[in-house]
Amino acid sequence: MNNARKGSGLLKTVLVIDDDLDTLAFMNKILTNAGYEFLQAVSVKESQITIQNFAPHLILVDYKLGEENGFEILNYLKSVNSMRLIPVVMMSSTVNKKLVLQALSSGALEFIGKPLKAATIVQKVKKILKQHELPTIIFKESPKVLAKCIAETIKINEMNVLLQSSVKFDTKTPLKIDSAFFNNLGANNCRFNTEGEPFVANPGVYRTKVNFKGMNENTARKIRNIKVQT
């Protein structure tokens, strides 16, 4: 289906899964007019690909998808850890208590009966997206990230360097230093670890002693020979 060139990241994306093309055309019209990025799929397989590619903010899925059904989408989302927080609304023109309860107990956030009315849909989408805004995700196994900060070199010897920055580092924190000054010294291959409590130079400005490990003699000599211009 026509989901190409979607996913700009500027708009909230809503995926509508339905095997009825006229329902998709209607939903495209009202959701696009309401300021959402509209994605569509007509089958379970196509839905899985779209979910993987776009990780939509909200999914509206029809109960009956030809020979397939919307529960297959709910089960798929539960099986993919990164997608299980996507809110899902199941919809159908077949509405009975048993089906509604089954949908809700299978992971659907809400169940809405067809025919879908424009005002109801927009109101519901708006409400759900507001409730599910900026979820906080706590990882069991924390993914590693590289956070960069700007620092100034206050003083240096062949054992350590004193860096000043707005970040208050813990002691014995491994650092990566990306600096033309350090590269010229040949120190870019050293390992760096903070040592001791940072010294508060000014409110919000900290000086941290960083030890060198693995420094070769050539770099040590260059440091000793640094001439500071006065």
Partner 1 sequence: MNDTIVVKIDKDLEDIIPSFLENRRKDLEKVKDAISQNDFKTIESIAHKLAGNAGSYGLDDLGEIGMKLEVAASKEEFPLVEELFQNYRDYMNKLTIEFQ
φ, ψ for residue 181 (rounded to 5)?
A: -60, -45
Q: Which one of residues 29, 78, 155, 221 is an interface residue with partner 1 (CB under 8 A)?
A: 29
Is 2 an interacting residue with respect to partner 1 (CB under 8 A)?
Answer: no
Is 23 an interacting residue with respect to partner 1 (CB under 8 A)?
Answer: yes
Q: Which one of residues 1, 25, 80, 85 is an interface residue with partner 1 (CB under 8 A)?
A: 25
- Among the listed ranges 82-90, 116-124, 151-159, 203-211, the one in contact with partner 1 (CB under 8 A) is 116-124
Is 123 an interacting residue with respect to partner 1 (CB under 8 A)?
Answer: no
CB closer to partner 1 out of 22 and 141: 22
In angstroms, give the least distance from the CB of 86 to partner 1: 23
CB closer to partner 1 out of 115 and 204: 115
φ, ψ for residue 125 (rounded to 5)?
A: -60, -45
CB closer to partner 1 out of 114 and 222: 114
Is 117 an interacting residue with respect to partner 1 (CB under 8 A)?
Answer: yes
Nearest to 1 by CA among 31, 46, 37, 32: 46
Q: Which one of residues 4, 9, 22, 145 is an interface residue with partner 1 (CB under 8 A)?
A: 22
Edge-first strand order for the sheet with 151-156 is 151-156, 160-165, 205-213, 191-202, 174-175
> Chain centroid to CA 18: how far?
27
φ, ψ for residue 24 (rounded to 5)?
A: -65, -40
Distance CA 39, CA 206 (A): 48
Q: Which one of residues 21, 49, 101, 149 is an interface residue with partner 1 (CB under 8 A)?
A: 21
CB closer to partner 1 out of 95 and 101: 95
In angstroms, give the least distance from the CB of 28 to partner 1: 8
Kindly state the DSSP code that residue 194 receives in the 8-state scheme. E
Residue ranges of the alpha helices (H) in the chain? Answer: 21-33, 44-54, 71-79, 97-105, 118-131, 180-185, 217-224
Under rule CB under 8 A, which residues in 86-115 are in contact with partner 1?
A: 92-94, 114-115
Kindly state the DSSP code that residue 176 receives in the 8-state scheme. -
Distance CA 51, CA 191 (A): 42
| Total interface residues for partner 1 by CB under 8 A | 19
Binding site for partner 1 (CB under 8 A): 20-23, 25-26, 29-30, 33, 62, 64, 92-94, 114-118
